[in-house]
Amino acid sequence: MKVLLFAVLADVCLSSVVPEEEKNPQFWRRQAQETLRRALQLQRLNTNVAKNIILFLGDGMGVATVTAARILKGQLQHRKGEETVLEMDRFPFVALSKTYNTNAQVPDSAGTATAYLCGVKANEGTVGVSAAVTRSQCNTTAGNEVTSILKWAKEAGKSVGIVTTTRVNHATPSASYAHAADRDWYSDNEMPQEAIQQGCKDIAHQLFENIPDIEVIMGGGRKYMFPKNTSDVEYPDEDKYRGTRLDNRNLIDVWKEKKPADKNAYYVWNRTELMNLDPNKVDYLLGLFEPIDLMYELNRDNETDPSLTEMLKVALKILRKNPRGFFLLVEGGRIDHGHHEGKAKQALHEAVEMDRAIGMADVMTSSQETLTVVTADHSHVFTFGGYTPRGNPIFGLAPKQSDIDKKPFTSILYGNGPGYKVVAGERENVSWVDFAHANYQAQSAVPLRQETHGGEDVAVFAKGPMAHLLHGVHEQNYIPHVMAYAACIGENKDHCHSGAPHSLSGRLTVTSTLFFFFLLFTFVF
């Protein structure tokens, strides 16, 4: 192992050589001038009406995760990494979002999802309801439901879709269609009897009842759709993947029954079925590819499990057939799970895959008519540092040992989590473990079974119609209001006139007023 350690350190030193062109000041001047030229073009704002809206949500994708994913993307392309450009880096407008919940300084994914989808801040653990609802108390729900931008888009005649790498009834997607006092009410099996008796419905039930005509739903969560103890189609011998529903309903059948006879509705559960579909002949698609969450990208079976990019591509082909446009929520949900488990390699590969999906969406849409927003719900206590040299492997060691315990340490660390390890009364010596393994749990300062979220602001990247409205520092619940304003949906539509650019009516009003005063001045004098 010591030989391996020295080899890694030697590779670090070799990879940190400064590229020859970067030694020339003109390299940096030319780069800056090109960036300046592009920035000056932004003075011509895109004030078109957004026909389409795509919201990419990187669950747990804080700024440190974005930076580390950028480096990883470059190193996967055999480059140093730091100079790499993520697809989201190309977006012209960037803001910061304040992520706190109404009752939490450091938020959870349910309260934040309610903010960036419904436009209202909420309590942690609740979805699609206002802060008047107390977590787990069903009887506080009635009358405090709030609707989402997905519903606003559907009411405006647009097609709508949900694509996620988590279960489709997880916190992020559920806030787009459900109203629940507890994010963990995945099926009625997870609900207290009191809540059921009081009339509250589980989230899987609400997926097919509240907005029954969602055109595209893809992710995981099969087991919550089937009666208790129903064997899973993919893992028939695994008890943990059996159906959970106590009401004995088969929600897949319910979904099919609600579709009009003259429409083509398809349910698929594996990649082969998905890729064999002709999107031009699909009106409704339900794809549930795992009993719970989808596999990590690094663990994904390329034959049976679709990637986030593949799901996105199919979704866009179906949704864009609507002449009125669409709203699509795309969640890279397992970034968050990787961090909670202290598995930075899993988390960062999930982030790189989401960036790949962002690139695919860019190819398939036009920024003249599509507003695309990329953001996160919250951060994590994930960091990387240690004065690493240029090109240091993102999962590698810092160049120097600790000057306290004289042991090496990885650049990536967590503030808390399962990576806290003490061996013989001392911090574990990472030179004796495979710290580049996909499931390696990076060391943490405080021992916890699961690493926690972070409380700092997260980035918001935007491009397309009215993207310039996402600027500076905003409350997280501001985001859907901008998207709705851009698309002329929801309650704020006074500025909308026959699909003309937003600013046109204002400019006409000003011009007309000036012309009136010109005529008046001419008449009087």
Which residues are known to be catalytic? 109
155's CB contacts (< 8 A; 6+ apart) are: 489
Cα atoms found within 13 Å of the Cα of residue 258, Cβ hemisphere only: 18
* Radius of gyration, alpha carbons of the chain: 25
Whether residue 98 contacts residue 89, with contact meaning beta carbons closer than 8 Å, is answered with: no
What 3-state DSSP class applies to 208?
Answer: helix
Residue 348 CA to residue 454 CA, distance in Å, equals 16
Residue 102 CA to residue 139 CA, distance in Å, equals 19
Residue with tokens 């919940």: 101
Cα atoms found within 13 Å of the Cα of residue 430, Cβ hemisphere only: 27
Residue 472 CA to residue 478 CA, distance in Å, equals 12
Whether residue 9 contacts residue 16, with contact meaning beta carbons closer than 8 Å, is answered with: no
Residue 369 CA to residue 465 CA, distance in Å, equals 6
Whether residue 251 contacts residue 266, with contact meaning beta carbons closer than 8 Å, is answered with: no
What 3-state DSSP class applies to 345?
Answer: helix
**Could you give phi then psi for residue 167, rounded to 5 degrees?**
-70, 145
CA distances from 385 to 31, 126, 402 (A): 26, 35, 13
Residue 386: Cβ within 10 Å count: 18
What 3-state DSSP class applies to 329?
Answer: strand
Residue 313 CA to residue 279 CA, distance in Å, equals 10
Q: How many residues does the chain have?
A: 525
